[in-house]
Amino acid sequence: MNTILIANRGEIALRVIRTVQRMGYRALAVFSDADADAPHVRAADSACRIGPAPARDSYLNQAAILQAVHTHGADAVHPGYGFLAENAEFAQAVQDAGLTWIGPPPAAMQAMGNKAAAKRLLAGRQVPMLPGYQGSDQSDAILLAEAVRIGLPLMIKAAAGGGGRGMRLVHQHADMAHSLALARSEAQQAFGSSELILERALVDPRHVEVQVFADSHGNVVHMGERDCSVQRRHQKIVEEAPSPAVDAALRQRLGAAAVDATRACGYVGAGTIEFLLDADGAFWFMEMNTRLQVEHPVTEAITGLDLVEWQLRVAAGEKLPLDQEQIDARLQSGGHAIEVRLCAEDPARNFLPQTGRVALWQAPPQIRIEHALESGQQISSYYDSMVAKLIAHAPGRDEARRLLARQLDACVLLGVPTNQDLLLDVLRHPEFATGAANTGFIARHFSTFDTAASSVAIPTPILALGLLLMLRRTQQPARYPLELNGWSSGAPLRHSLSCKLDDELHTLEAQANGPDCWHVAYAAHAHDLVLQPQGEHRLRIVVDGDAVELRYAQDSDAIYFRCGGRNHRLRDLSYAPPTAKNAATGDGIIRAPMNGRVANVAVQTGQQVEAGQPLIVLEAMKMEHALLAPHAGSVRALHVAQGEQVEPGRILAELEKL
């Protein structure tokens, strides 16, 4: 190998490029039109355009990627994780072209990358299985009959992929047909296959996975387990190693089952065997991910290994650098690592994906962060919502948890709503702190999310007012010396300010008492403010003697700031024109809540619908989101068709009450 093409983007490509270049290889990046100036493109030794922004036309375009290999003289392909990483057809095409495939053999990918095929292969081995159905007959009649046989609750899963896509939990048989249709559609969109499997669902188990590695000389090892139980919509957001629910004896049993499953398919390279773990220590095989995982940094932290380096060495024909006994010794003294996934989504709106411009990005310095972010960057709707991973490592779990919480709070990503504040609340929650969280944790404690909660006692509107006053002084031309600010020969000058803070309107009065000193009135209370700018994007506000520091950034139409463990959006309405009292309420108007592609228009003009009935399905950031009728009525008009790309606020349909 000399030049390695990385068939991925963003933080994934940057992670692989880092090791590729450290080991002396050249890195060839690929990019879509949306990523022409992305950080991974600039970090590589060379780069090649492979198509338009949609992933199906670029990062999933096998012909374009293979052409890039030949055009730039690469002799190996690393798929990263996601996109084509588990595509056996692509792996075979790479090998057929005489190139080195940095991944498992296509036959092993075919056998284990499909959940149905994997369960059939492992049926006769010592790998525990939940009752389910993984047959080739995919008709509704068979699947509905099998659901009755298996019993409820039941999980529908896409056979060809994971990550929560194409997955539906069913509690009532009456919901099966609708859930099958949704799972099929999402599976087809995400993986190009609508094949489904059925599986008995456990109530709030733990999700535990084992990292495995194999070489072409017959050696197979495991690197311990990761606990991935904290999930939303069946997608992981917090991972840690080792699992707080696994002791040495259980770890040995999990590892043995994982190694057995790995040997069964003639595997070579990095892989992950995923299990469900019950409260009594029983576990069941879920699937094998035939690639490196997003959460591999926590395993790297506790073993001190570079798993991408291992991938490159195995692909070059080398033996595994360590045996199981040596790895076990590292695990015993490796401490604890926790990772959180920072995603562009709104937890207060059912984790709806968010897009937009990053007004300010500042990464904390004391922990490992995998990202491809920078201020001014546009978060696109074409790719996954995860924008960064933060990983803390310490001798003990509680120390790692505290360190991660502190550094996550210090992380600044303004301009696009994220799950940052939710992740902070998760890390600080008593149930997570004691290591007791399972897959029901988020639904149990965060079914609704308080975006207004703050760790400081000072009302947030007061801090917002101080920020507005500081920005007015620094951004407006001075008409007189600062020392005369607020001076008047008559009555004291009062300033009336109106602002929209997040979703609430506030009106406040302020009177200058000297340079950067103000007396303000808000909600029948009076406060004295001292504004102390701390450099670019930082402001210290002293309110009645108590100091609070916030980070801020200003975009074209808003001001964003972070304080008290929360991000806020602020608009100055002091000079805004009045709004008509009888403005339209928008009742019956269905608007796009995000950037996305219209995956399906489920109704027709004139059709009568019930409240909660799906009207239009949008696809954004690899997930489908059904827009439901807010009330019963008749579809008065449809303004979009399937396949259209829409922006936030676009009117999609009009519904008339009957």
Which candidate, 402, 371, 368, places its Cα nearest to that of 299?
A: 368
Q: How many other C-beta atoms are found inside a 10 Å radius of the C-beta of residue 583?
A: 7
Give how far the C-alpha of residue 569 lies from the chain's centroid of Cα atoms, to the nearest Å.
21
What are the tokens at 347? 């937890």
Q: How far apart are CA 618 and CA 13, in angstroms?
A: 27
- Contact assessment for residue 104 and residue 310, using Cβ atoms and an 8 Å cutoff: no
Q: State how far the alpha carbon of 211 is from the alpha carbons of 109, 253, 326, 357, in Å.
A: 16, 14, 15, 36
Give how far the C-alpha of residue 399 lies from the chain's centroid of Cα atoms, to the nearest Å.
24
Cβ contacts of 584 within 8 Å, gap of 6 or more: none
Cβ contacts of 479 within 8 Å, gap of 6 or more: none
Angle at 493 between CA 490 and CA 496, to 5 degrees: 150
What are the tokens at 153? 């609750």
Which candidate, 273, 294, 289, 286, places its Cα nearest to that of 384?
A: 294
DSSP per-residue codes, 530-563: EEEE-STTEEEEEETTEEEEEEEEE-SS-EEEEE
3-state secondary structure of 483: helix
What are the tokens at 472? 């007015």
Which candidate, 134, 133, 170, 166, places its Cα nearest to that of 152?
A: 170
Q: How far apart are CA 279 and CA 269, in angstroms?
A: 32
Q: How far apart are CA 555 and CA 538, in angstroms?
A: 15
Residue 313 is among the residues annotated as catalytic for this protein: no
Give how far the C-alpha of residue 373 lies from the chain's centroid of Cα atoms, to the nearest Å.
14
- Contact assessment for residue 635 and residue 607, using Cβ atoms and an 8 Å cutoff: yes
Residue with tokens 């999990």: 254
Looking at 226, 291, 401, 597, which residue is catalytic?
A: 291
Q: How far apart are CA 167 and CA 170, in angstroms?
A: 10
Q: State how far the alpha carbon of 585 is from the alpha carbons of 500, 539, 589, 593, 615, in Å.
A: 18, 38, 9, 16, 20
- Contact assessment for residue 561 and residue 467, using Cβ atoms and an 8 Å cutoff: yes
Q: State how far the alpha carbon of 272 is from the alpha carbons of 29, 211, 222, 299, in Å.
A: 26, 5, 9, 11
Cβ contacts of 442 within 8 Å, gap of 6 or more: 230, 231, 232, 237, 426
Dihedral sign (CA 177, 179, 182, 184): negative
Catalytically active residues are 291
